[in-house]
Amino acid sequence: MPTISDTLVCRLAEADHVAVLTGAGISAESGIPTFRDPDGLWDEFEPQELANVEAFLDNPTLVQGWYQRRRQVVEEAEPNAGHRALKALEAHVPSVSVVTQNVDDLHNRAGSDAVIELHGNITRNYCVDCERTAAPEAVDAAIRNGEPACCPACDGLIRPDVVWFGERLPPEAVERADAATARADVLLSVGTSAVVYPAARYPVRAREHGAYVAEVNPDTTGVTPDVDESIRGPAGEVLPALVEAVADRSEEGAGAP
């Protein structure tokens, strides 16, 4: 087990608010590939070819089918020990915000109270015309019939509720993430390469506001030079050990005269 500093444990135990930035690495431990389909059905396509508005309008059935398969992979996966540890951290810190670049819904399924989804959520769909929410079953049924999935209310095309290449991040999510990282006493950067903006700026911004910043990642990342502490290891091992250490420290503090 990689070494976790007493400083980080103490700062977490004393924190009023903790922000956690998560990326593909934490979900990879649940068996979710970073972008490509695991069985190779879509290997002939580059993600950039399909994850954009132009491709969707040109061939909606193809794009909907790709995302349907990705959604099925996500729905078959389960939150891992890293996701569950972040939920457990809420028992020891008054406020925890999870800012995620992932679209797989695993933080929500693990029970985290405040999940900020910068890139959307692949389990949701909506109509591009009337913006009504669309059930995944509508997409599945259309794909089985070899037809594009359309809104039952207005016949508009149905798309996944994710951010595509060339699209802006949801303003509300960005606003919440900005606020969460600015007021954090501790920021944990977990399983992210920290090279995609604006998420990559959050660890640096939090540190500028006085937060103690630690990263949890098996490898060095784009933010490694800017953090207070790097813990080299998978989230599923490091985070449960970290939360256990915080719980022990909190109990010691509660028992002090």
CA atoms within 13 A on the CB side of 150: 10
| Domains identified in the chain and CATH numbers | 1-32+79-119+169-257 (3.40.50.1220), 35-76+124-162 (3.30.1600.10)
Structure-block tokens of residue 212:
């103690």
Residues 1-54 have pLDDT tens digits of 778 999 999 999 999 999 999 999 999 999 987 654 444 444 566 777 889 999
Banded model confidence at residue 257, pLDDT cuts 50, 70, 90:
very low
Question: At 187, which helix (H) or strand (E)?
Answer: strand 186-190
Return the structure tokens found at 34: 């970073």
Known catalytic membership, residue 119: yes
Q: What is the pLDDT of residue 103?
A: 95
Nearest Cα residue to 30 out of 95, 102, 99: 102
Check 17, 92, 119, 209 and give the catalytic one: 119
Model confidence pLDDT, tens digit, residues 45-76: 677 788 999 999 999 999 999 999 899 999 99
Contact status, residue 29 vs residue 236, Cβ threshold 8 Å:
yes
pLDDT tens by residue, 192-211: 988 778 888 999 999 999 99
pTM of the model: 0.92
| Cα distance between residue 250 and residue 257, in whole Å | 14
